[in-house]
Amino acid sequence: MLTLNNSAYLKMSNLENDLDIYYAVGNANTQRQESEIAAIINKRNSAGWRLISTSTAIVDTKNNFSNLYLFWEKE
Domain contains 22: yes
Domain extent, residue 41, equals 14-74
pLDDT in tens, 23-44: 866 666 678 888 888 999 999 9
What is this structure's pTM? 0.73
pLDDT in tens, 56-74: 888 888 877 888 999 999 9
Closest CA to 20 of 67, 74, 58: 67
Residue 52 has pLDDT above 80, yes or no: yes
Domain contains 3: no
Cβ contact 48:63 at 8 Å: no
Q: Report CA 11 to chain centroid distance, whole Å.
A: 25
Domain contains 4: no
Q: How many domains does the chain have?
A: 1
DSSP element (H, E) containing 42: helix 30-46
